[in-house]
Each structure stands twice: as C-alpha cells, then as structure tokens.
Structure 1
Amino acid sequence: MQEKLTMQQFMDLTLDRKQQYVLKTMNLESFWVMGYIRNPVDEKPFYFIEKLINPYTTMSLDVHIFIDISLNNGVYCSLPSGAKRLEDGTLVIAKVKLSNESKIKEGKIFSTTHIDVLVSENSDEILSLIEKTGMDLPIVALTRPAYYDRSNREFDELTNIVRNVAVQERESIKKLTEQENKKLEIQFKKLEAEEDNLNKKQEEHLQKEEEVLQESKKVNKKIAKLNELGFSIESIKIEDRKSELPKFDLPNKQSELIKLVQEQLALRGYYYESRFLRQLLLSLTTGQMIVLMGPSGTGKTTIIKQLADVIDANYEIIPVQPSWTDKQDLLGFYNPIRKLFVSTPFLDCLIKAKNNPDKLYFICLDEMNLAQIEYYLADILSIREVPDERLRLYSDFEYEQNLSEIRWFIQKVLKSNKSIEEAIADGDIDSMMHFEMASRYTNMQRYLPQLEIPSNIRIIGTMNVDGAVQAISPKIVDRSLIIPVMKQSKKEIIDSQKTIGRYPLQPAAFSSESTKNISSALRSGLNKIQQELTNLNITYNDRVEKHVHQYYNAAHDFEIKTKQQLDDLVVMKFFPRIHNTFEDAQIRGLIEQIKSELGEDSQAFKKLEHMQSRMKETSLLSYWS
C-alpha cells in the first residue's frame, strides 16, 4: 500500500513521481475518471464533473491521498464557445491531468478540457471489441456520443485501457477460480467428514437421551409405589433445554414502565437514573430523532443495546465515518456499471422494519458528529417531516429501463413468454448472463426507487463531547431532541425480586395517541423562558412548537408532572440553540427565570450554571461546552 504524503512532500516530487503517486494512491490504471455533470446556475461557460468514480474498480474515487489536505471530489472544465452543453446528471468519462501547483494547493488535483470529456451512453461497442460481457467486465466501457466528430485517438486509447484491464483480470480470475476450486474441494471433503462425525455424535446423544428418559420412567414408577406406601418423594423432572428469557406482562399504566425498565437494566448490570430513562422513553414516543450527547464512557451506545433487549426490540449500531460527505454514505448508491443498488446496514435496517411492522427498530448513528451531519442525514430528516413522503434511492426511469432489459432478455435470449417472476423463479440458470439478470431483478425488487421510512423506526445518534466539540447546526437541533448523558448515579438501585426478562413492547406503545392542548401551567413557564431567550436573539419556529406538543402528550400518557416536563423541554429543545458570546448582565434574566420556574435543583439550572462557568473561561455561552 502506498504510504500517504503531506502536500509539501508531494510538491517536492518530480512530475513523473507525482503522477505515479496519484495513480497508486487512487488505485487508477491511467488518468481516466468518471463522474456526473453539474452546470452552474447562471449558465456560465464552464461546468463541473462531480462524484468521481474510479472506472477500474467501479467504486467512488478515493481523493483522500494527502495526510494534511482534503481534495475536491470534482473536476472543473471550461466550455468552448459554441460547444453543446451537457445536461446535469449526465454520466461521462474524462481524460484528466494533474493541475498546476497553485490549483493543487486549493484542493483541485485534476484538470481537463471539453474535448477530453466523453459521454457514457452504452458499452456495447467496446464490449464487442474485447469479447467480454457486462458481467465479466468490472469497468465501464464508454463510447463517443454521435455528435462528437473528431479523430478516434481518444476512443482507441480508452479501448486499449479497457482491453488491457480485461485481459489481466481474465487471467487473474482464471487463477483465482482454480485456487478456489481446490479450496472448495478440500473444504467439501472436510465438511463431509465433520457431518459424518456429527451424525454419529447426534445418534449417540439421542440414544443416551432415550436411555435417561426410560430410566427416569422406571424410577418414577418406583417412587409412585413408595408414595402409595406412605412415603413423600417428588418425581424426577428432566429439563433438556435452557428456556428463553421470560416475557413479562405489560404494566397497566405507562407510568410504571420507566421503573420496570430501570429495574431490568439494573438486573443486567447497567444503572441509569429515572430522569434520563424518562427523557429517553418519552422522546422515543414522539418519533423524532434523538441525540444522546455526553462524555465518552457514559453508556450512550450501551443504553440503546440494553433497552432494545429489555423491550424486545431490534437495533443496528452504525459507526459514522469522518469521510461521509453525502447521503450515499448512509443509504448506499446505484451502481450504473452493474446496474445494481449497493446497499448499507442503515438501508437494510429500514427494509427489515418495513417488512416487520409489529417490531420496533432502533438505528444508532454512533459518534454522529465525526462527519458533518447535514451532509449525510439532511434528506432523512426532511422526509420524516412530510407525511407519506418517500426516500428517493435512484430514478424511476432507471428502474423501468432495467425491467425492459430483463423482459427483452427473457423473450429474445431465453425464447420464453413467461413473466419475469416466473422466469426468475424457474431456477434453471444456465449462463452468466442469465444469472446477472436474475441478480438484477432480485436487487431491484428489494431496493425499489423510492422507500417510505417505516413508522416503527427510531433514529438515535450519539455524540462524544469534549472541550473542542462543535455545536450542532440549528437545522439538526430543530429536528431533534437532545438528551445530555452524564455519569449515571447508582443511588436509585432497585432491590428487585424479579429475574431478568423482557417486556415485549410493540411500536404502538411508542406512539402517543393523545392530542391534548398544552396545559396552561406548562405554557406559562415555556413562554416566560422563551421570552428571556428571545432577549438573547434566540428564537424558535413552528417545528419546535410541534415537538413540544408531541412531548407534552407523551408525558401526559406517562403521568409526568408539569415541572419535570418543563425541565426536560428546556434542556432538550431550548438550551441547545444557545451558542454565542454574552456578558454576565445579558444572561442574568434567564438565570433568574430558570431559578424561579424550576428551582436550583433542576437539570436546566445546573446546566446553565455549568455553561456560565465555562463562559468565564472562553467568553462563549454554549450548550455544547
């Protein structure tokens, strides 16, 4: 593997060494890249090639080739006068070269010209030249568009690249196939021997089990006779299998659930305060995204796993990567080369939830602030706010085009009048192309162009905070409930007589049906605190009001007192917007109002005190400090 350099180390290389370094670190065979056209809004004489793809691997181009500098995942190209402008989203391949030093320092590693940009329309011409099929070839073969009238130099060069790669891969695949066949043969013989041995052991076990059963019957008969003679002896009971965790009856009142969950967590060796569990369970009931923020080691990820176990839910832990830049990193992407959708654990969990509507699913985005949250999660958050809105994975046209190709294959190649479902279910796959079509159809049916986010999904993010943590943007704060997670006290340990078990809660238990208007007491407290925040130029929109209403109705179902509701909402919805420089005199009114409404023992007052102490050190009053 090529060791990565700093930008300055790269600049000190000769041009030839620079080219070798870029090709090796990006895993390119030559300076050809693929991407999608994006035109400027005002139709200026240039365009961009973005979302670059490595044509030799069909994966996104790895532009993280320097230790200290991030590169743009795109190429700038000027548009000559009179040249035809390509449409946005057009898939192209471009012959690129290294930019000059000043451009590279700006993060623009490649440059190209319009004459070196070719449109991808179909691969048949090149595939026929190299005698390969689309299934055999792991790179995109591209042809010139009809209007592209000039010499065949670039076209021939691309064809040679494709041919060389195909020949090398054919030899590599041949060797790998031979090696795999030998390994499979050895493994098959080993498995046969293991299976024979297992069958013998199973027969011996069953025989011993039957012998024990017969002996126990004989003993029980003797015990019965002794009991007839006046002895008191219990019969022998034989348990052959360990039973599953017991499932307890659900409480009559939702207000009892917090204590029962706390009890089961303690029995498992995990201690969480009732206040935190209250905030978490009520937030889950609202259906909004939840962000658990706090120092490392406070049990943010653990509570998701253990709570899922207690309430018999499913969960998926997804570690967020610093390299995530758009929704493809979270949801996957459509591969235009193989014409398959490449999924992710996040999307697969959404599909599982859709297929199991009676089961609750938690998706945990672990350390979600390692990447810019808006980049990869914006679509999810926006769609969840619109009723019946669907998540777009790829275009409907691409889906219909795929179906048309599969139908053509069945009718023209297989010479069959069967429907696609019948042809796929037939099971008599006799060629690689047939297998490719079956795989494509199976993939299409699982990953449809649009997906509705199931109502039994709950998205929970975790954030490790320290002195250098960045505040979450207002867009994310407005669409989330932020729950601080500190080190949990063991003062509330419950001496339970129960054993470890589960309370099988269905999604309906986490969707409040109440539509009550917010109580006058809560409304009064909210208005007073909001007024003080307005004096600090911190305002809130209708979305916040919606979340307050949802939380209030959930809290009403759980019989939570008004003062606790107010404390929760101030900490989880109002304070997260505080991130600015203030003088002590400016926040005095807010401090007094919180003290008056909630008292000095409230979580909101203690949080504000901590924020104020940090402000004296940094001059910044921040919820995230």
Structure 2
Amino acid sequence: MSAKNIIYTLDEIKDLSDDELYQRLCECWGITNGKIEVWGELEISADEKWAGIKSVRTAENNLAISYPLYVSKNIDDGVFLPPFDAKKLLKGQEKVWIKCQLEFAKPEVRKKHENPFLLSVKRNSSERLVTLPRFNKAQILDDEVSSYLTETIYNLHFDAANKKITEVLAGKELELNQIESKRKETSDSVNNLAKRKNELEINREQLQSTISTQKDKIAVLLQQYQNIEQEMSQKIERLKSYISEKALFLKDFEFIDSEDFDRFIINASPSNERPAMLDFATVFDGDYKQAVSYIQAYLKEQDILYPRHIIENYLTLIRANDLIILAGDSGSGKTNLVQSFARAVGGVSKIIPVKPNWTSAEDLLGYYNPLEKKYLATPFLEALVEAQQYPEIPYFICLDEMNLARVEYYFADFLSKLESRDVVPEIQLYSDDESAHVLSELKAVVSIIASAQSKFSKDGIVDFVKLMQDEEVSAEMKRAFGFSDKDSLIKYHGDIRRMLSGIMNTPSTIKIPSNVRIIGAINIDETTHYLSPKILDRAHIMKFKSPLLSDWEVILSEIASYGFDDVSKPLHFEIEALGRRTPYPKFDREDAFCKLFTDLNRDFFHPLGIEFGMRTIRQGLNYLTLFLELNADRDQAINNFIVHKVLPKFTFDGNKQSGNATKLNLMENALVEQLKVVIPNYESFSEEFSCIAGLQSMIDNAKANDGVVNYWA
C-alpha cells in the first residue's frame, strides 16, 4: 500500500477521536500493520532541553512523511523524545540513527501546537540502528533525499567498519600474545626439563654410590645378624631347657596338669579338626554375591530356608563388625540363623543364655575371687578365651534373650570397648598384681620343696603326696612354711594348684579377638525390657517374622536358579574377608548419602524427637560400602539402613505437636511420602524388610492405640 496525498483542514478533523485520527495517519502514510514505526536521525539541542528525530521515514515502506494538514506542520521539524532517553541512545555522540514507534503527544501539547496529528516517540521503543534500512533508487530520486548521504551516514558506516576492523585487530593481537606466551612457556618448560635432567643425572650418580655403600653395610649387618642369631639360638635352647626343667618339676609335683603343660610349655595347639571346605578366595574369587548364593543353597541342603535378602543383610552386618541384634517372636529363627550361618562358613557358634538377674559386667564376664585367688569365668568369657586359641576360625557368640535383663546394666561397658575401631579392644579382668602375687607364692613353694627334697636326698620321689608321706621331708616343709601339725600341706598344695590354673587359663587382660562377632537375640513381650537409646545408637537391629510366613516356593526357585551341582561343603573365609575392625568412613557433606540423611534428620527425625547423630551416618556409610559389594541395589541398602538404625527408635506419643502438625501426621503425610521418593522401588522389597511398610504399620497401630507410636509393639 502506498501513501495517499490527502490534506485535512482543522475543521474536518476536530470532532474525530484519537483512534480515528490514528487510522487517518496510517492511511495517509501507507501503514498497514496498525503501528506507526519510523526511523530517522536523533539529535538533542545544545541546552539539552529538547530532543527529537528528523528526516523521518516509515519503517514499513521507507517513505518520507509529513502531517496531512493545510497549515505548515511538517514532521521534519522533529518528533519529540524526552532528552533523558535521548542521551542514553546518543552515548556522547552528537547524532545517531534510531528506529522507534510513534504515539500521539499529550492532548494539551497537541492543542498548544494546533495539530491534532502531533506525534511523539513512545517511551522504551527506541533502538539504535547499526545499518540503515534499505530503500530503492527511485525513492531516493523521487523524494529528493540525497541529504541522507551526509557525513552522518558516512560516519555511521565508517564507525561500524572501523569497529569491525578494531575487533579483528584486537583478536589477532590477542592470538599473537597467546602464541608468544605459549612460546615462552614452552621455552621455559624445555629449560626446566633440561635443568631437571641434569639434577636427576647427578642424583642418579649419588644414589648409585649410596646403594653401593649401603650394600656393603647390609652385608656387614647380615653377618652380624647371623652371628647374633646363632648366639641367641644357643641362649634360647638353654632357656628352653631351663623352662622345661622347671615346668617338668611343676608337672611332676602336680602343680599343673598335662593339658596346661602341653598348651603353655610345648605350645601345642588345641585340637579342633575342621571339615573339608571350599575356599571363598579361590573358588569364588572373592565375589560376595556368589558367596551369598552358595550359603543360601548350602543352608537349603541342611533343610534351612532363608530368603536371599536375609543372608545378604546378615553377611553385610557381620562384615561391618558392629553389634548385631536379632529381634522377633520366639521361634522366628534368630538363634537358628546364628548357628546355621556359623556352620555354613566353617565357624563356631556359642549361644549364651542371659539371666533376668544380670545387673553388671561381672554377670557377663565373671569376677576375681580374692579369697580363692582365682578368677571365676562365665561361659561368655570362656567363649572369648576359646576363640583366642583358634584365631583362624570365626566365632559367633550370641547372647540369647539379651533383654531379659537391662542390657545397659551388664553390657554397656563391653559395648563401649567394641566402639573402638582403630585399636584392638582390650578388657581388664583383674589386677596384674593378683597374678604376680600367685606366681611369687608359687616360686616360694617350689623353692621350699626343692630344698627339702635335696636336703634329705629324696630325688627319686617326684609325687607330692608321697613326698609328704615322708616324715622327715614333711616336718622340714612345715617348719619352712611355719605350719603347725594341724595344718594340711596337701590342702595348701591344692590351693596353689587351683590359683596357678586360674591365672594360666584366665589372663588378667583379654583382647577381643578379630575372629569374634557378638550377636544379640531378643524377644519383645511383657517379660522383657526395651533397648535404651545408647544400645540402639551402637547396634544394628534386624527384625524377623515367623518362617511359616515365608514363600518357600519362591525361595526354592531362587536357589535352583543358581545352578550349583554340589553344596555339601561349608565355605571357608579368611577372617579378614569376614570384615576388619577399621574406622568408619569420614562424614563428607558433599556425599549423596550424607546429604540425604542430614536432610531427613533436619526435616523429620529431629522434629519427631529421634536421636540421630553423625556417628550413625558414618555407620551407614560403612554399611552401604559393604552391601554394594554383594548387591548393587543402592535403594535396598538405604532401606535396610533405615530399618536397622532409624525405625527402632520410633517410640513416642504421636499426639504431641511438632510444628503445625502432630508427630503422627508428620509421619503419615510427610515422612512416608518422602521415603517413597527416596526409595522409588520400595514396592519390590519384602514387607518384612521394607522401611515404608514398617513405618505404615507403626502409623496404623498408633491410630488404634491412642496415637502411641511404638516400633516394638
């Protein structure tokens, strides 16, 4: 559409609305899109009180325009633009070409200038032009706009070209600088490498000289060592002879029995024959996933069925070297798991029944009787001592019905020892002075017997009772001991024998062997005690249901899929393969597991009153690392950890407020939903070992029990 040559008088347009006036302008100027967009040259007055654009052309058809009035109201006089806006576009230049949209000036301004068509620049519609809009030659000739080819247009294109050239030159200069910098770096690197090469050559020559010198010294030391070894060998033989002589004396006179003599003097290992076994490292190449399959299949051959996830979980906890507590109803297979797993790995299980009257560590470990000068050991301590004698065999010591007595009374001190992860835990059973006293008394007795035997030339009598039957020797010994005729040397001999046996079989201190795992089995009923937060914080709780509720067909099908031909032999693990007592992994704020449980603690555990500390997260990191070695399902590991370490602490009044909701509502409406997001495949887990199913069960029970939340109910 081209422009129309229409001219109006003021009377013709005085009654038109702004919309009608705007439409008349668009028709006159050939504008079809309904917006008066123009381009022109922006300038500002010297006093910066007025600014506007001149040489105005339409953006749509590039036509020069003027107001369609008979009175002289040429648009080339300038279209007003606020000076403030103009200065932002000029950026210090005198003139620039811009493109903008026009709108009617204010009514009072149009009235003042007697021009209803008067336009001004619409605010925030202006932009500087980098290149001028294209227009054809005919337009230029017809409209006589040769004034556009002015110094301003030239400067516009010159500035653009100059800017481009400057940018290119700057880029080239930058490239040259970078090349020069790289050349200098390369030159420096070459010089440094040459210098380093010279240094290494010097060091190599010095090292060769040092090695030669050290070889000579080693040869001298080796000869000295061989001489010392030969000398020490002779001394050791003499020492052995001396010890053997004294030990034989003690044995002959029945101060020690043959078994103690063999174990402590001849270093004879106790006999404990082990069945033929498969080697975990050799047969399965250290693959724990295969080991779980084999153990499950082996137990099936023993008519014991456990789902795979129980074996996975239990083996991981064994390797974690923490206290394991198996919880469940009577007959749910807790102690059976301990015993059957021990057999499956060629280990030994010891089931220690806990008594309701246990109140201190003495009930667990025994105590020293000063009257008898003997330590009275318990079955638990005897199991530890036995495990020490067989360091290559795994021992699983289970405290059965652990919570018949208050665990924190009799087990807390022992549990504190188990917390030590960087050193071997050691327990002081009684004072070293007691054993020193017994040995001192024994030495005196032996000296007196030997003296009396020698004095009366009774070397042929090596039986204590027969020696005492000799009147001369008996009288001499009573005199030496300060005994009266009523005192019994036979009874005194028995006391010495008993005391000596006590300190030989029960040392004053005992280290918890690395081949020992401590496991607790608990029932929850009206006859038992709840576990305290201190115990829960340091243990892993593994809850059981009745084996009658298991889907045996699924388990049998699972085992059949492994394809083992022969599962008749236990699986032998080196003790280290069953887990080492090492420090827990460090807490790392950037670790995904640490972040997850830090957020859960802040948003849920703490508002619910659940104690959850950094040590628990570090225990979780350890569990996670070990579990992933036999099952790559990270969600399963996180689920198990929540079941072990978090849910057992849920014991509180759900009706109490926590923020704007009750604790029970926080569990049901927020925590459950959050865990579903954290563990998206939760529905694939067994309900027995699902943290979400466990949480929902507690919620349902609480609603039926006046809002009381109790994991153990």
TM range, smaller chain: 0.5 to 0.7
Structure 2, unaligned stretches of length 5 or more?
1-272, 455-460, 466-489, 656-663
Kindly state the Cα deviation for residue 337 of structure 1 after the two structures are TM-superposed. Answer: 1.8
Alpha-carbon separation, structure 1, partners of 2:596 and 2:303:
38
Q: Does 1:500 align with 2:500?
A: no
More helix per residue: 2
Aligned to 2:277: 247
Instruction: Give CA-to-partner distance per residue, 1:467-496, whole Å, 9 cap, x none.
Output: 775431011111111111113422222225
**2:297–2:567: 8 Å Cα contact kept in structure 1?**
no
Alpha-carbon separation, structure 1, partners of 2:574 and 2:453:
45
Aligned to 2:593: 522
Aligned to 1:586: 666
Alpha-carbon separation, structure 2, partners of 1:485 and 1:458:
19
Report the CA distance shift for 1:389/1:514 in structure 2 as closer, same or farther (over 3 A). closer
Kindly state the Cα deviation for residue 501 of structure 1 after the two structures are TM-superposed. Answer: 1.9
Alpha-carbon separation, structure 2, partners of 1:545 and 1:326:
30
Alpha-carbon separation, structure 2, partners of 1:427 and 1:573:
63
Instruction: Give CA-to-partner distance per residue, 1:399-451, whole Å, 9 cap, x none.
Output: 22222222222224553899xxxxxxx97443342233133112102211111
Match of 1:406 among 430, 439, 442: 442
Q: How many pairs were matched up?
A: 376
Kindly state the Cα deviation for residue 500 of structure 1 after the two structures are TM-superposed. Answer: 2.3
**1:249–1:503: 8 Å Cα contact kept in structure 2?**
yes
Alpha-carbon separation, structure 1, partners of 2:591 and 2:634:
10
Kindly state the Cα deviation for residue 303 of structure 1 after the two structures are TM-superposed. Answer: 1.0
Correspondence 1:331-480 to 2 at 5 A = 331-386=365-420, 387-412=423-448, 414-415=450-451, 428-430=463-465, 431-466=490-525, 470-480=529-539
Aligned to 2:697: 610
Aligned-residue identity in percent: 27
Which structure's CA Rg is the greater one?
Answer: 2
User: What's the secondary structure of 2:646's corresponding residue?
Assistant: helix
Aligned to 2:540: 481
Alpha-carbon separation, structure 1, partners of 2:277 and 2:298:
12
Alpha-carbon separation, structure 2, partners of 1:334 and 1:268:
42
**2:274–2:346: 8 Å Cα contact kept in structure 1?**
no
Report the CA distance shift for 1:339/1:414 in structure 2 as closer, same or farther (over 3 A). farther
| AA at the equivalent of 1:529 | L
Alpha-carbon separation, structure 2, partners of 1:372 and 1:406:
41
| TM-score, structure 1 normalization | 0.56
User: What's the secondary structure of 1:354's corresponding residue?
Assistant: helix
Aligned to 2:341: 307
Alpha-carbon separation, structure 2, partners of 1:289 and 1:515:
14
Match of 1:535 among 576, 599, 607: 607
Alpha-carbon separation, structure 1, partners of 2:532 and 2:464:
52
Instruction: Give CA-to-partner distance per residue, 1:178-213, whole Å, 9 cap, x none.
Output: xxxxxxxxxxxxxxxxxxxxxxxxxxxxxxxxxxxx
Aligned to 1:272: 306
Correspondence 1:253-292 to 2 at 5 A = 253-292=287-326
User: What's the secondary structure of 2:572's corresponding residue?
Assistant: coil
User: What's the secondary structure of 1:454's corresponding residue?
Assistant: coil
| AA at the equivalent of 1:392 | Q
| AA at the equivalent of 2:691 | A
| AA at the equivalent of 2:402 | M
**1:470–1:624: 8 Å Cα contact kept in structure 2?**
no
Structure 1, unaligned stretches of length 5 or more?
1-242, 419-425
Aligned to 2:622: 550
Kindly state the Cα deviation for residue 334 of structure 1 after the two structures are TM-superposed. Answer: 1.2
Match of 2:639 among 567, 579, 582: 567
User: What's the secondary structure of 2:430's corresponding residue?
Assistant: coil
**2:624–2:638: 8 Å Cα contact kept in structure 1?**
no
**2:597–2:617: 8 Å Cα contact kept in structure 1?**
no
Alpha-carbon separation, structure 2, partners of 1:417 and 1:376:
50
User: What's the secondary structure of 1:258's corresponding residue?
Assistant: helix
Alpha-carbon separation, structure 2, partners of 1:446 and 1:280:
33
**2:628–2:637: 8 Å Cα contact kept in structure 1?**
no
Kindly state the Cα deviation for residue 244 of structure 1 after the two structures are TM-superposed. Answer: 9.0
Kindly state the Cα deviation for residue 338 of structure 1 after the two structures are TM-superposed. Answer: 1.3
**2:404–2:529: 8 Å Cα contact kept in structure 1?**
no
Kindly state the Cα deviation for residue 461 of structure 1 after the two structures are TM-superposed. Answer: 0.6
**1:411–1:417: 8 Å Cα contact kept in structure 2?**
no
User: What's the secondary structure of 2:278's corresponding residue?
Assistant: coil
| AA at the equivalent of 2:572 | P
**2:356–2:404: 8 Å Cα contact kept in structure 1?**
yes
Alpha-carbon separation, structure 2, partners of 1:351 and 1:585:
52
| AA at the equivalent of 2:577 | A
Alpha-carbon separation, structure 2, partners of 1:336 and 1:523:
51
Alpha-carbon separation, structure 1, partners of 2:598 and 2:464:
68
Alpha-carbon separation, structure 2, partners of 1:413 and 1:400:
20
| AA at the equivalent of 1:594 | L
Alpha-carbon separation, structure 2, partners of 1:380 and 1:346:
12
